[in-house]
Amino acid sequence: MTPDDLRVAEPTASPAADATAGGPALFRSIRIRDLEIRNRVWVPPLCQYSVTERDGVPHDWHLVHLGSMAAGGAGLVIAEATAVNPEGRISDYDTGIWNDEQAEAWARITRFIRSQGAASGIQLAHAGRKASVWPETVDRRGSQPLEEGGWSTVAPSAIAFDGLRAPVALDESGILAVIEDFRAAARRAVDAGFDVVEVHAAHGYLVHQFLSPLSNLRDDRWGGDLEGRARLLLEVVRAVRAEIGERMPLFVRFSATDWAPGGWDEEQTSTVAGWAAEAGADFFDISTGGLVRDVRIPVGPAYQAAHAEFVRGRAGVSVSAVGRITTPEQAERLVASGAADAVMFGKAMMRDPHLALRAANALHADAAPWPPQYLRARPEANDGEF
């Protein structure tokens, strides 16, 4: 079944509980562990490449970027891929959470998001062999030279991402250090006031590199069969769960397919999602691709949603859908039909940070989360015009 075939229906049973019933499915709250999220209009991690001081510390841009989406009615706002150590940054313009200064800066942002009635999340990330590249915001491409501030990269195997510098294969101690970096970052995320922690296991970054047989050629306990290739993710999930406790939700972002023969696919994703749930993960953010270049991806409206639906059905876990979902009606069909438990609006949310308010109006939702400062702008106060 493709996303275009989905019909509005009552949501099917989900591991995450509906806290309310009635009205559009997209605007029913959802409870995950001890966190109640006011609706299913969520913001995925959106890299900004805006840390001009190159110290990993988020600043005013990040406050306004994330805060505007919270004020605009989103239920959950997840901060961009945030490195667990300096070498894990995609670029040196990325945010980090490997020291206390960074955590304190994030705390200012989470306080504002919470003040707007939204939940805040952070995606903990390590870019692996795709680290140390020039950011999108500068007019250069490829690996940042070592003499210009770049650094050596790491991966499960010494296989370069096409067009980038070759990485060094991590040894046992290096892998264990990465797990500890995720653990320490999770502790700082709690201290910074985040409501959700997400582990980045998608888009060709380090954890995904371990998962895929195209990038992991190891023959030790961190490679080989599916259990070996999934070991890093599961150990990271266990370490993060141990730090955040039992009350806080833990998400994992997967690329459900590499779109390449012999690579990672939705069957393996479903199996490992089940294992990750047993290890302490609660919710799975389903994207695709990113491991290899020059693959054919059938991009179109909601083109990744069918993968989310597959993982949800096969693994029996809660999922969000993301990718070219641009209208309230698309999102409502996905949630109401049971294909997904929530929808991540990425570029659409950057174009319109108040997308959630617009969607509530379009779907005639009573639970429209208008900030008090904006109440006089509500459509019902302006002849129904948004």
Give, for all 386 residues of the chain, the pLDDT tens digit.
Answer: 343 333 223 333 445 655 556 799 999 999 999 999 999 999 999 999 999 999 999 999 999 999 999 999 999 999 999 999 999 999 999 999 999 999 999 999 999 999 999 999 999 999 999 999 999 999 999 999 999 999 999 999 999 999 999 999 999 999 999 999 999 999 999 999 999 999 999 999 999 999 999 999 999 999 999 999 999 999 999 999 999 999 999 999 999 999 999 999 999 999 999 999 999 999 999 999 999 999 999 999 999 999 999 999 999 999 999 999 999 999 999 999 999 999 999 999 999 999 999 999 999 998 778 999 999 999 987 877 88
Q: How many whole angstroms separate alpha carbon 359 and alpha carbon 364?
A: 8
DSSP 330-379: HHHHHHHHTS-SEEE-SHHHHH-TTHHHHHHHHTT-TT----GGGGGGSG
CA gap 323, 345 in Å, rounded: 8
Cβ atoms of residues 309 and 286 within 8 Å = no
Global model pTM greater than 0.75 = yes
Closest CA to 58 of 139, 112, 133: 112
Tokens 């993968």 belong to 307
Give the closest residue to 59 by CA, choosing from 115, 121, 120, 102: 102
Antiparallel, parallel or unpaired: β 342-344 and 168-169: unpaired
Torsion of CA 191, 192, 198, 204, to 10 degrees: -120
What's the full length of the chain, in residues?
A: 386
**Helices 226-244 and 266-279, packing angle to 10 deg:** 40
Interatomic CA distance for residues 233 and 254, integer angstroms: 11
Alpha-helical (H) ranges within the chain are 60-71, 100-115, 172-191, 206-211, 226-244, 266-279, 305-315, 328-337, 347-351, 355-362
CA angle 268, 342, 110 (to 5 degrees): 105
Catalogue the active-site residues. 205
Q: How far apart are CA 342 and CA 16, in angstroms?
A: 10
352: left (phi over 0), alpha (psi -120 to 50) or beta: beta
